[in-house]
């Protein structure tokens, strides 16, 4: 259930008036942190658009990043089937843990899906470069050269990847494949498409064993 101001009363906060809230990076899929919330914390999170929790030690509301600036921007808040646990889908600004690591569960991707989800982060960067061109940015300059140049670069990088696969070592193959994937992502964005749509096409073609 997606939580809004209208259905907030349907949550079961129990006798203590608190329920756990799991913050998950919507882009990478990483679990960032777990904290407690009461009804007021959820209201404030929805109102501010940033994650607000309840501090049991300080007995007050606290917004994540209120001192560090490492906030969690709320995308949506979901309740589990028993309505006594929340999942907050967020965009993190900076590391989520007070120790300086990306998550409270360690520094670095914890799952294969989270590693692959970096492609979403890459597309976000490309979007920003397209929306706010920077002459110092290779991506901005590449987009400005137009679709024909983007297509040419995809072809060049595809050929270099093929040659690396034929006669290069593993490091060269990885490097050339990364170049190809990057230029393909930029070219797709230039046409208003995304890597996710390519993955959806693969899903449509997939026939389970």
Residue with tokens 């501090």: 55
Q: Are residues 132 and 182 in the same domain?
A: yes
Domain that holds residue 50: 8-92
Is 3 inside a domain boundary? no
Q: Are residues 41 and 121 in the same domain?
A: no
State the chain's mean pLDDT as an integer: 91
Q: Are residues 201 and 121 in the same domain?
A: yes
Is 192 inside a domain boundary? yes
**Mean pLDDT lowest for which of 7-16, 55-64, 77-86, 194-203?**
194-203
Is 99 inside a domain boundary? no
Residue with tokens 């998550």: 103
The enclosing domain of 41 has a CATH number of: 3.10.20.810
Q: Are residues 80 and 129 in the same domain?
A: no
pLDDT per residue as tens digits for the range 159-203 = 999 999 999 999 999 999 999 999 999 999 999 999 888 988 988
Q: Are residues 179 and 131 in the same domain?
A: yes
Strand-strand pairing, 19-25 and 86-92: parallel
Continuous segment of H or E residues that includes residue 179: helix 170-190
Whether 113 shows a pLDDT value over 70: the answer reads no
Integer Cα distance of 50 and 65 in angstroms: 9
Tokens of 144: 């400005």
Is 156 inside a domain boundary? yes
Tokens of 159: 């050929």
Integer Cα distance of 15 and 90 in angstroms: 28
How many domains, the chain?
A: 2
Q: Are residues 123 and 45 in the same domain?
A: no
Q: Are residues 87 and 159 in the same domain?
A: no
Is 103 inside a domain boundary? no
pTM: 0.62
């Amino acid at each position: 259930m997606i939580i809004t101001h209208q259905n907030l009363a349907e949550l079961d906060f129990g006798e203590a008036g608190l329920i756990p809230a799991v913050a998950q990076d919507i882009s990478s899929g990483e679990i960032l942190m777990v904290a407690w919330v009461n009804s007021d914390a959820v209201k404030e999170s929805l109102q501010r658009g940033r994650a607000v929790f309840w501090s049991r030690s300080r007995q007050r509301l606290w917004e994540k990043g209120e001192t560090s600036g490492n906030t969690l921007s709320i995308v949506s808040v979901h309740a589990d089937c028993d309505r006594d646990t929340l999942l907050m889908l967020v965009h993190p600004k900076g590391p989520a843990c007070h120790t300086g690591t990306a998550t409270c569960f360690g520094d670095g991707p914890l799952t294969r899906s989270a590693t692959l989800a970096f492609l979403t982060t890459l597309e976000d960067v490309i979007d920003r470069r397209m929306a706010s061109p920077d002459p110092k940015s290779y991506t901005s300059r590449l987009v400005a050269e137009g679709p024909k140049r983007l297509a040419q670069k995809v072809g060049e990088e595809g050929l270099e990847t093929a040659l690396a696969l034929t006669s290069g070592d593993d490091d060269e193959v990885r490097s050339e494949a990364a170049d190809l994937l990057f230029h393909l992502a930029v070219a797709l964005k230039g046409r208003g498409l995304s890597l996710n749509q390519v993955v959806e096409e693969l899903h449509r073609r997939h026939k389970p064993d």
